[in-house]
Structure 1
Amino acid sequence: MKYVKHIIELYIISFVVGVFFACSGGEGGEQPPKEELNPPEKAIGVLPANGEPCSDYEEIAENDTQVLISFSWNSARFAQSYEVIILEGSNEIVRKSVGGLHTEIELDRGKTYTWQIVSINDDGSSTSNTYSFTSPGIPQRNFAPYAATITVEFDTINSEMLISWVGSDEDGDALSYEALIYQSNELIYEFNDLSDTFLPPISYIPSREYSIEVTSKDSFGNFSISEVTVSTFSGF
């Protein structure tokens, strides 16, 4: 009887241990698949046209200081909604949630604005490049420069970024520039008081994200900020 009892006890212990490992997956068991995230891609602005006086607007009845300006952009993959952000200089003056690809916003006459579109879904968000325009009307002061149009090319042989930009100003003022380079949100390079519209080659590390911010300034103290983000995750 003792022998039979001992066999039964061993069987119960083995059964309990087996159940435990089955529930816990056991050591080296299959791990559940990781949930794949699909953050939205960047939207691309269409109107107002970048670096130009705004031509798509409506007059506002009994309001001679503002106009109703039309904004539109291309659909971004995986986006469920959008935010339109408008800045005057470095000051954010409008942030508007939009379900579609078009909206209208009242803005002051005779000013230069920069704007971006944020694509949003449940997995995250992506911010577009910076665009700029001048609203119609006589300026209350000298126009601010347009946001620079930034171009980034990659020399894959030497692992270098080639960064340049085009700046302009509605008044034709001479411009100077500042440039900041971020690697994964950490500032790695800073250039000040530039008259050239390009930087020396910048070394990059594969599988990193870089942001380039260019501030365009005129001699009257007006400025605008442009930013683009590039990814080296996919190779070139």
Structure 2
Amino acid sequence: MNKYLYTLLTGLLIASCGGSDSSGGSSTDDVEPTPSPTAAILVFPEDNTECNTGEIVNEQESRVTFVWNASENTDSYELSLTNLNTNNTITPTVRDTELRLTLLRGVPYEWSVTSKSDFSNEEATSSTFRFFNEGFGIENYAPFPAEVISPENGINLMNNTSEVNLIWEASDLDEDIVSFEVLFGNENPPVDVVSETNDSFLNNVNVSSGNTYYWRIITKDTQSNSSISPIFEFKVL
């Protein structure tokens, strides 16, 4: 084979094995980002209601089916369920839009759903619903534990803060809340009762820089039922 023909064949071979040129090749810049999941809409158990459609197992337990609407760009759902009496939380994951669980009867619960994708680290969390699982022979329900509004839990306040307004909210299926007992101080858990009030706020509470404060609310109703909130905290820098 003469030198000219060898050189020509070699060039053709290299060209056929090489990648495409810059004008025709693909680029990672053309890849569309994976769409993020959207938040699911909760259906059942409904918010601030008594769940009385579960299957009764015994006097202590019943089975409740949690239902939510499918969300976009979602492959799985993580259900977060908290027993509001104990603050214990479970987080089972399913690929369906419902999940049946065995719950204690006569107990308040809180639940939400987080939408997840197999192709993205982004997540979306639904709103949070509270409900009472129907109890055996209960005629009047205890209030739901109070929820913090202000100061936000875990917040750092500016170092020139000398007073704060404590604000919370609470609800009761029987709508018979009569008072709130406010525990506040530097101890965790707080033990000092600083007020008993009919309002869902306590204004002009003295604080000072360099301290962390803890507070919680005991909610009482007309039937002498009560609930105690989680411990809320904030720090004054």
* TM-score using structure 2 length: 0.50
- Matched residues in 2 for 1:48 and 1:123: separation? 30
Instruction: Say whether the 8 Å CA contact 2:144–2:171 is kept in structure 1.
Output: yes
CA deviations on 1:135-157 (whole Å, 9 max, x unpaired) are: 23359987423698xxxxxxxxx
Q: 2:31 aligned with 1:34, yes or no?
A: yes
Note closer, same or farther for the CA distance 1:142–1:41 as it changes in structure 2 (3 Å cut): closer
1:87 aligns to what? 82
Helix, strand or coil at the partner of 1:49: coil
1:159 aligns to what? none
Helix, strand or coil at the partner of 1:37: coil
1:145 aligns to what? 146
Q: RMSD value over aligned CA atoms?
A: 4.3
User: What's the CA shift for 1:86?
Assistant: 0.8
- Matched residues in 2 for 1:224 and 1:77: separation? 36
2:107 aligns to what? 111
Note closer, same or farther for the CA distance 1:80–1:147 as it changes in structure 2 (3 Å cut): farther
Note closer, same or farther for the CA distance 1:142–1:43 as it changes in structure 2 (3 Å cut): closer
1:134 aligns to what? 132
Alignment of 1:45-84 (within 5 A): 45-50=42-47, 52-58=48-54, 60-61=56-57, 63-84=58-79
1:218 aligns to what? 217
- Matched residues in 1 for 2:62 and 2:53: separation? 7
CA deviations on 1:69-104 (whole Å, 9 max, x unpaired) are: 3422122224455342212355323525252x3343
- In our comparison, the structure showing a higher alpha carbon Rg is 2
Matched to 2:53, the amino acid is: Y
1:205 aligns to what? none
Identity %: 21
- Matched residues in 1 for 2:113 and 2:90: separation? 14
Matched to 1:15, the amino acid is: L
Note closer, same or farther for the CA distance 1:59–1:19 as it changes in structure 2 (3 Å cut): closer
Instruction: Say whether the 8 Å CA contact 2:76–2:93 is kept in structure 1.
Output: no
Instruction: Say whether the 8 Å CA contact 2:39–2:114 is kept in structure 1.
Output: yes
User: What's the CA shift for 1:46?
Assistant: 1.5
- Matched residues in 2 for 1:147 and 1:54: separation? 22
Alignment of 1:92-103 (within 5 A): 92-93=89-90, 95=92, 97=94, 99=96, 101-103=97-99
Instruction: Say whether the 8 Å CA contact 2:146–2:171 is kept in structure 1.
Output: yes
Instruction: Say whether the 8 Å CA contact 1:57–1:68 is kept in structure 2.
Output: no
- Matched residues in 2 for 1:224 and 1:97: separation? 31
User: What's the CA shift for 1:35?
Assistant: 6.0
Instruction: Say whether the 8 Å CA contact 2:77–2:113 is kept in structure 1.
Output: yes
User: What's the CA shift for 1:114?
Assistant: 1.6
User: What's the CA shift for 1:43?
Assistant: 1.0
Helix, strand or coil at the partner of 1:218: strand
User: What's the CA shift for 1:9?
Assistant: 4.5
1:232 aligns to what? none
Instruction: Say whether the 8 Å CA contact 2:52–2:133 is kept in structure 1.
Output: no
* TM-score using structure 1 length: 0.51
Instruction: Say whether the 8 Å CA contact 1:112–1:145 is kept in structure 2.
Output: no
Note closer, same or farther for the CA distance 1:94–1:57 as it changes in structure 2 (3 Å cut): farther
- Matched residues in 2 for 1:27 and 1:43: separation? 43
Instruction: Say whether the 8 Å CA contact 1:144–1:224 is kept in structure 2.
Output: no
Matched to 1:54, the amino acid is: E
